[in-house]
């Protein structure tokens, strides 16, 4: 899958129904190479497509949160730039996934030293 195909799939999401978001999220999970493009599109704050990208990013991170680790600095530095409420909500859910993974006593995803604490 290419970035252009990802953009086409995002544009084809008609509405926020779970089935539509999940379809594109599964495409990304099957093609991890486009994850970085999805993340970049989600933070293109002047692009309305960023809303759909954020919807899909939430579903991908729910399954593959470890994919976000190399981009964690980029992710956290760009959160405050979001201006569409429909993109803020899924990104805040991802923050919740990160917090839960970080504080997990059984299987922490990140350690304090790995994220700079």
pTM: 0.88
What is the residue range of 65's domain? 3-115
Task: Work out how many domains the chain is built from and give that number.
Answer: 1
Q: Which pLDDT tens digit goes with each residue over 32-84? A: 999 999 999 999 989 999 999 999 999 999 999 999 999 999 999 999 999 99
For residue 89, give every residue at least 6 positions away whose Cβ sits within 8 Å of its Cβ, in sequence order, or none: none
Calpha distance 88→70 (Å, rounded):
21
Euclidean distance between the first and the last CA atom of the chain, given in angstroms as a whole number: 36
Token pair belonging to 115:
């994220």
In Å, what is the CA distance from 33 to each residue of 3, 23, 26, 49, 97?
9, 17, 13, 19, 22
pLDDT for 14: 87
Q: Which pLDDT tens digit goes with each residue over 9-29? A: 999 988 888 888 999 999 999
């Amino acid at each position: 899958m290419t970035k252009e195909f990802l953009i086409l799939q995002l544009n084809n999401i008609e509405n926020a129904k779970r089935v539509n978001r999940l379809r594109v999220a599964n495409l990304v999970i099957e093609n991890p190479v486009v994850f970085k493009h999805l993340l970049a599109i989600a933070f293109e704050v002047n692009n309305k497509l960023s809303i759909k990208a954020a919807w899909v990013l939430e579903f991908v991170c729910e399954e593959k949160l470890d994919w976000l680790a190399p981009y964690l600095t980029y992710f956290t530095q760009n959160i405050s730039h979001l201006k569409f409420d429909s993109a803020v909500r899924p990104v805040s859910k991802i923050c919740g996934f990160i917090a839960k993974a970080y504080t997990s006593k059984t299987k922490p995803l990140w350690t304090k030293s790995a994220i700079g604490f």
